[in-house]
A and B are shown apart, each in its own frame.
Chain A
Amino acid sequence: MKPEKDKPQAGTGKKAYMPTLARDIRKEWDLYLLLIPGILFILLFKYTPMYGIIIAFKDFNIFTGFADSPWVGWKHFEKLFTSPDFSRVFQNTVIISLLKIIILFPLPIVIALMLNEMKNMMFKRSVQTVIYLPHFLSWVIVSGLFIDLLSVNGGLVNKLLNSMGMESVAFFLDNSVFRSVLVTSAGWKETGWSTIVYLAAFSMIDPALYEAAKIDGASKWKQLWHITLPGIAPIIILMFILRLGNILEAGTEQILVMYNPVVYKVSDVIGTYVYRQGLGNQDYSFTTAVGLFEAVISFTLVVVGNSLSKKYLQRGIW
Chain B
Amino acid sequence: MQLMKQDLDLKKITAGAGGNAIKSSPGEKLFAAFNYAFFILMGMTTMLPFINLLAKSLSSEQAVVSGRVGLFPIGIQFETYYYVLQDSMFLTSLRTSVLLTVIGTALSLFMTTITAYPLSKTRLRGRKWLLLMFVFTMLFSGGLIPTYLLMQNLNLVNTLPVLFLPAMVNVFNMLIIKNYFEGLPESLEESAKLDGAGNIRILIHIILPLSLPVLATIALFFAVAFWNDYFAAMIYITNPELKPLQLYLKELIVSSGGEFLKNNVDAAINMTPQSIQASSILLATIPILLVYPFLQKYFVKGVLVGSVKG
Contact for A50 among B48, B141, B174, B293, CB less than 8 A: B141
Out of B18, B39, B137, name the residue touching A118 (CB < 8 Å).
Answer: B39
Are B52 and A149 touching (Cβ within 8 A)? yes
Q: Is B119 an interface residue (CB 8 A)?
A: yes
CB of B300 within 8 Å of the partner chain: yes
> Does B228 sit within 8 A of A, measured CB to CB?
yes
Task: Write out the residue numbers on chain A whose beta carbons fall within 8 Å of the beta carbon of B67.
Answer: 151, 153-155, 159
CA distance A35 to B130 in the complex (A): 9
> Is A34 within 8 A of B303, CB to CB?
no
Q: Given A32-B118, A196-B300, are A299 and B137 neighbors across the interface (CB < 8 Å)? A: no
Q: How far is the CA of A25 from the CA of B127 in the complex (A)?
A: 12
Contact A34 B230 (CB under 8 A): no
State the Cβ distance, B257 to closest chain A Cβ, in Å: 11
**Residues on the A chain within 8 Å of B14, using CB:** 119
| Contact indicator B246/A49 (Cβ below 8 Å) | no
For residue A55, CB closer than 8 A to chain B, the reply is yes
A200 with B143, Cβ < 8 A, contacts A45-B165, A139-B230, A141-B284 known: no
- B156-197 near A? 1/0 per residue, CB < 8 Å: 000000000110110100100000000000000000000000
Stretch at the interface among A83-91, A130-138, A174-182: A130-138
Question: Which chain B residues border A149 with CB–CB below 8 Å?
Answer: 48-49, 52
Confirm or deny: B64 has a beta carbon within 8 angstroms of a beta carbon on chain A.
Answer: yes
CA distance A66 to B140 in the complex (A): 21
Max chain B Cβ within 10 angstroms of own Cβ: one of A34, A38, A39, A123: A38
A14 to B71, CA, bound (A): 72
- Is A269 an interface residue when CB atoms closer than 8 A count as contact? no
Task: For B112, give the chain A residue with the smallest CB separation.
Answer: A38
The binding surface of chain A is classed by DSSP as helix
Residue-by-residue, is B12-25 near A (CB-CB < 8 Å gives 1, otherwise 0)?
Answer: 01100111100000
B143, A138: Cβ atoms closer than 8 Å: no
A125 to B281, CA, bound (A): 27
A24 touches B125 (CB 8 A): yes
Q: Is the CB of B142 within 8 A of A51?
A: yes
Decide if B35 touches A118 in the complex (CB within 8 Å).
Answer: yes
Complex interface: chain B residues within 8 A of A38 (CB): 111-112, 114-115, 134, 169, 174
Q: Check: A303 CB closer than 8 A to any chain B CB.
A: yes
Interface residues on B, range: 35 or more
- Check B144–A278 contact: CB distance below 8 A: yes
B133 at the interface (CB under 8 A from A): yes
- A169 in the interface, Cβ–Cβ < 8 Å? no
Which residues of the other chain, A, contact B115 by a CB distance below 8 angstroms?
Answer: 34-35, 37-38
Residues of A within 8 A of B174 (CB): 38
In contact, A52 and B53 (Cβ under 8 angstroms): no
Alpha-carbon distance A299/B141, docked complex (angstroms):
9
Q: Does B262 contact A (CB under 8 A)?
A: no
In the assembled complex, the Cα of A34 lies from the Cα of B202 at a distance in Å of 13
- Residue pair A279, B148 in contact (C-beta under 8 Å): yes
Contacts of B249 in A (CB 8 A): 140-141, 144
For window 194-252 of A, CB contacts with B under 8 Å fall at 196-197, 199-201, 203-204, 207, 210-211, 214, 220, 235, 245, 252
Contacts of B78 in A (CB 8 A): none
In the complex, which residues 47-76 of chain B have their Cβ closer than 8 Å to any Cβ of chain A? 47-50, 52-53, 56, 64-71
Contact B52 A156 (CB under 8 A): yes
A183 at the interface (CB under 8 A from B): no
Question: Which chain B residues (1-59) contact chain A, with CB distance < 8 Å?
Answer: 6, 9-10, 13-14, 17-20, 27-28, 31-32, 35-36, 38-39, 42-43, 45-50, 52-53, 56
Show 30 A/B contacts (Cβ-Cβ < 8 Å), sorted by A: A30-B200, A32-B118, A33-B200, A34-B118, A35-B130, A37-B114, A42-B133, A42-B169, A46-B137, A47-B137, A49-B142, A120-B10, A130-B43, A133-B292, A134-B46, A138-B229, A141-B249, A149-B52, A153-B65, A156-B52, A199-B304, A200-B304, A204-B308, A220-B27, A253-B231, A275-B144, A279-B148, A291-B142, A295-B141, A302-B139
Q: Spell out B's residues near A (CB within 8 Å).
A: 6, 9-10, 13-14, 17-20, 27-28, 31-32, 35-36, 38-39, 42-43, 45-50, 52-53, 56, 64-71, 111-112, 114-115, 117-119, 121, 123-125, 130, 133-135, 137, 139-150, 165-166, 168-169, 171, 174, 198-200, 203, 224, 227-231, 234-235, 246-247, 249-250, 253-254, 274, 277-278, 281, 284-285, 288-289, 292-293, 296, 300, 303-304, 307-308
Known: A114-B39, A129-B296, A141-B246. 12 other contacts (CB 8 A): A34-B115, A38-B115, A46-B141, A49-B141, A117-B32, A132-B296, A148-B277, A154-B67, A220-B27, A235-B308, A278-B145, A291-B145
